[in-house]
A and B are shown apart, each in its own frame.
Chain A
């Protein structure tokens, strides 16, 4: 069982990172409070996001062998995930409408009549399966990209804000340059240079999206630097590095959380655009939507691919936006009701 593929490692790494954050967060009253408030304000959205995460997890770990792929020789030797195995052996020959008995073109009887909730695509794969697998890609985009972009932005923003002067000028220059370039074109150029693997696309997305948060972190650091407790730490002889790590960065964490949640939807949508240009990640909803371009112009039109991918994308982003807004409201220092 070949478990140690690169993509598995990436996924495992992300999961570990997520768990560590969760454990650290649980010890702090603030984050516990955030979770409690979220459950109270947006239970449905939270549930939806949790559902997507579960689905993505089911598709995350892949290995070869095991369950019989039902005559599909190629699939037998591929690394398949839990989700794949659930849908094993349900291949048709070509298009079929949702819950149909017959193929779309030619009306030959299906191998599994009525067994495809959302129909099948051009290769006969179950569209429901494809849609569910897209969740993993979407979460990967959001997660991995943020994991690159946010620490990068923090590093630059906090350095610029704390030390000011030359470092600030330098960072500001880089930021302004990047911000003045058309994002999409830059993205395309980077993908063409770095390649089309998942990591490459995420890297390209990270490069084009760290500027916004960097500006925010820089501004907030300016403010924090003047706070009395930072001055007191300086008077106590605490080194700059320790001040940054102990006082400045932890007080930026609420911004990090808000930025992460709100950046997420932008990233997924950016990847959809890349897919539309043919540069996206394999298996994403964006790609499904891109394929739908041809399919819609046929007569009769094939709409279920587009609908499935579109609805899935829309629902996830809607839920994430709701959660993001709620998190921002909860963490806003003005609305935070701390006892005085």
Chain B
């Protein structure tokens, strides 16, 4: 790698117009990138990383504009290039791939045509030669049957394949720099592993430098050489991968790493970063992280910290790091946000008393009553996790799902006859004990969301039984089901879409109360709303606001409050934290655990994020194509997974420990369509251990260890055999020593 930087960004400032003048969404950013290296630009939503990428290519959408700075690429300042020359740079020398493969390809043009277009823009080739070249590119990116794919349309391709096509288009001209804006965020974990492997290979083969923009520190660990952390438009830390991930020095980076559930101990509170990211209109003077920083002093609120070089490769922008005599906070104390810094209203307002040491509120009478009703002698908060985990009673099964099937008809023809079925859920068994968390895990399209909705009656199940307190909910009429609705509630993924934008917070939370006639009159209901808001750590004075005036995390709390309003016993969390930033996710996960302790709630946690699952769940059920393929306690599944799919899933998770880079794509290909599931065992076409009888016979759920597994290998003599032991050991080795857990 040549030491001379290929890309040099100096003091880049990009502004967008705001109510009180232009807002610097990217503020005085300086970076260098040398040939062939991968630099990751990390930050949460709104930190300006995507705008940085667009600024390099001069593609900032109006009314934003690049105010100051230089972008030197190969010696030339891209900002001063005439437009025609800039166009020649884009695509040929600097290429970009985007986050959403679904919408990045033109749906009315064939795949081949689009790749050829990308080639032809910069290399005048005769048609035949261009077509061949395109085919070679597709093969290079690992698309099976590239010749056939050339004639396909984008909608005939899966998400992973579309992303490969995008990458093929991007590398068509062997660009020196590839900017990847969240390239794997929209993809499943196994596909993500494949794409990361592809990017690694391409970088090796072609020597392309990559500017990787992401919020996922696991992806950063897998791919990056150097890491730059951004917060509110400014860069706060820059260093090598090992330096930033193992020894972060900026309080924000430290907080981010500590907030990740994958790095946390089971049973312990996640370390939150208090407060929320301030909105651009309300950025404070001085250090923008000061309002949330445990080390903040008066200086931080007034003076912007300069960059301190801790080593030739590691620099941090923080006053505390620069000065040796910085007062350290007392152990356990945390700073709450200062009132003067943020606007009078809007999402940047202090979100109530949400300090990481827990809300300082006096327990209301209702709370006392509820605590009294629950089993006594337990602490209200999960301190040293194990005590609480053991203290939770292994309740009788609250919910028992048997043989659940939900099929969607495929209608076709003038009379709209059903010509086939999408077997979204095809024989699912689940048990949710009282007061525990069961996680339903799987990739997109496996049917886990449909399971949740079928249990609640939001989708019509075709067959099966859902026993709640001994009563089969599916056999009830809508009227008979109504009283049971109180006990089963749901929190959705998208906090934006979950709240009616035309209703005030108070009305939203009170909606369920009105339909179940909880609270005799308006005043009582309002009181209860206030109490619920306090319980989810929201300020009750904000109950007159509309959803858009809350931040994402606050909206999700509102959804939780709405669900709690009717007194449920089981809460289905359908990807409830997937759309939230890591630091906000930590707050919500802590809240959920607290609620579980206080109210003896059970959770059915539907998610694809195995890090969260490991932290939160007691039992895991893994789904694939509408069926449960493995089930067991969390520890057992992570330590010794039996089913090949589970093993592949776990192997694909990127680790955040820089000592281990191990996301391996152990499964090839894409998930088959649920309308035409493979015969026999549904996983057999992608399974590395398929045997002769797998395509013929569908395996039932065999008992295995403390759960079950749907694999013929599980029917063989269990873990006593040497082969199985070897498997289990090698899996554990690959993941390295599992992080210490609370002793449960």
Contacts and interface: CB of A to CB of B under 8 A. Distances in A.
Partners in one complex: yes
B486 interface: yes
B209 interface: no
B360 interface: no
Given A229-B498, A232-B562, A237 B486 contact: yes
Interface string B441-464: 000000000000100101000000
Nearest to A226: B497
A339 interface: yes
Counting chain B CB atoms within 10 Å of each CB, the highest count among A28, A29, A339 belongs to A339
B490 interface: yes
Interface string A212-256: 000000000000000111011111111100100011001100000
A212 B443 CA distance: 41
Contacts of B512: 236-238
Contact of B490 (A232, A238, A246, A251): A232
Contacts of B499: 229
A13 to B, nearest CB: 27
Contacts of B62: none
B279 A229 contact: no
A8 to B, nearest CB: 36
A235 B498 contact: no
Interface of A is mostly: helix
Counting contact residues on chain B (CB < 8 A from A), the size range is 35 or more
Contact of B515 (A227, A238, A251, A340): A238
B571 to A, nearest CB: 11
B277 to A, nearest CB: 11
Contacts, number: 73
A250 B502 contact: yes
Interface in A263-319: none
A237 B492 CA distance: 16
Contacts of B347: 339-340
Contacts of A234: 458
A236 B562 contact: yes
B511 A228 contact: no
Nearest to B508: A229
Interface string B504-526: 00001001101110000000000
Contact of A236 (B279, B501, B515): B515
Contacts of B511: 233, 236, 238, 246
A236 to B, nearest CB: 4
Contacts of A227: 497
B743 interface: no
A237 B501 contact: no
Contacts of B453: 231
Contact of A239 (B458, B494, B515): B515
B224 interface: no
A340 B548 contact: yes
Nearest to B500: A229
Contacts of A232: 490, 492, 498, 559, 562-563
A245 to B, nearest CB: 12
Nearest to B572: A235
Contact of B546 (A29, A228, A238, A247): A29
B482 interface: yes
Interface string B549-583: 10010000001001100100000000000000000
A242 B499 CA distance: 16
B489 interface: yes
Contacts of A238: 511-512, 514-515
Contacts of A235: 456, 458, 485, 488-490
Contacts of A239: 515
A338 B499 CA distance: 15
B72 to A, nearest CB: 33
Contacts of A228: 492-494, 497-498
B346 interface: yes
Counting chain B CB atoms within 10 Å of each CB, the highest count among A29, A237, A338 belongs to A237
Given A236-B562, A237-B485, A339-B279, A231 B515 contact: no
Contacts of B458: 231, 234-235
Contacts of B500: 229, 246-247, 250-251
A33 B248 CA distance: 46
A338 B550 CA distance: 11
Nearest to B552: A340
B562 A231 contact: no
18 contacts: A29-B546, A227-B497, A229-B499, A229-B500, A232-B498, A232-B563, A235-B456, A235-B489, A236-B485, A236-B489, A236-B512, A236-B516, A237-B512, A238-B511, A238-B512, A242-B515, A339-B279, A339-B346
Question: 9 closest Cβ contacts across the A-B interface?
Answer: A236-B512, A228-B498, A228-B492, A237-B485, A228-B497, A229-B500, A237-B515, A250-B502, A238-B515
